[in-house]
Structure 1
């Protein structure tokens, strides 16, 4: 029997790593436009609009076929709402705290995914995964220590934890959704849900304050957020060709840690020793979660093939 790696086997890794790189760069610079006078609520609006081109691309690749069953819609909206809700809160968080600390917290979202998979779907993780979860739990408290004071009262940490929970839940629902609908349909519903929340973000915008509508405002935001959108597109294909139990930890943990490293290099900031320990623990935890062997069953693989060939 020929055991050579298939194109699909190589495609998932390429797309997952592309997502890690694009989301890592996006996260490091996502706070630039709000710092230049373009409100984070309007940044959300720009982000939602940049999702449209990738959505059209994946639908075209799927022959404009869209899963319309009630179950598919529920799963699609759940994935989209959790992703968009996390994005909206994240845009606030990066204006109130350092990205090199916010994103390592978010990188621990696979803990939520694995916990739900264990409790609800009966999946088990190996020793590496268990050690990764333990390190993740040890890392979280270190980000709350701020001996020098926190200008925003630590609000960024609670926002980061909220985003972590949202994206951990999103990965769980995306993992489940891949068994009942196509990846293209999942991404379409993600886009529609993100667009549906634009009025909420618009209503939350304080238009009484000066808003930068120049090149460093919406146009800078668009240039940064399109990295997010393209990364979401490659994530769709990573889930299509690879196992979610591997793809989710690799992308959800790898991208935020790439952001933390880029932010530290770009800003030339050296955090305190305790926070360095926290970043190190988060890095080790995410790597262990990412390299945990695939525990999906043969039935899962058969379901994946059935969805992809439908």
Structure 2
């Protein structure tokens, strides 16, 4: 793993950064659709604020998707930056597995933005968009190379659950800094539902690791498996923070204990940072290595 990371050049770093940023924005946009529909107690004002934020970041996500297409063309041309504007190479990438992934993500982003702007009438299209974005991750990457259909299903479910988790962080952070019991209601409801989400994420992650590498002992012999293990380790930190939120911080919010809102906001910042690190690690090992090495 150290050798792989040490060999990262400027182009690799840029590719990883663009991929990680696009992943993050797509997760946030998807979560902004799922959160108001699945978490009870979210005030109408906060729902609207979340919708506006999601609609605003979609254009940035689309720009990053285009950047990924261009960077792949540059990579195919041997790091020749002129290839970023080469119609032939761009068409080649667009017709491949990565191109299909990016196209589906772009369609999903547009549908999300359009659905959120239209309000309730766009709910159906926004939900379809969230599913399309989740499915897009099965079209390219390491899971797409397996012969097992359930791996793709697990990845889709994994992405939906992660989107749900990410989607609640911003509104809960904002509410925790405001007077009233809205933060407590949202935190309590999310805590109940997160139990099932955690179970799905853990099971899906372990099954995927086993399928791609043959299990944790074998995985630790490869750079890919070691990076995957780092990802699982960071996720364990997220689970610890979630447990603290549920067992200590949420009851403090419910009881109105002084300083509980500040403590919750601090915990959410750490949790969001950890999830961000997971996204970066995922972008790193899917860019630099594969299950076999």
Same fold (TM over 0.5): no
Would you tell me which structure has more helix in proportion to its own residues?
2
- TM-score w.r.t. length of structure 2: 0.39
**Higher relative contact order (Cα pairs below 8 Å, separated by 6+ residues):** 1
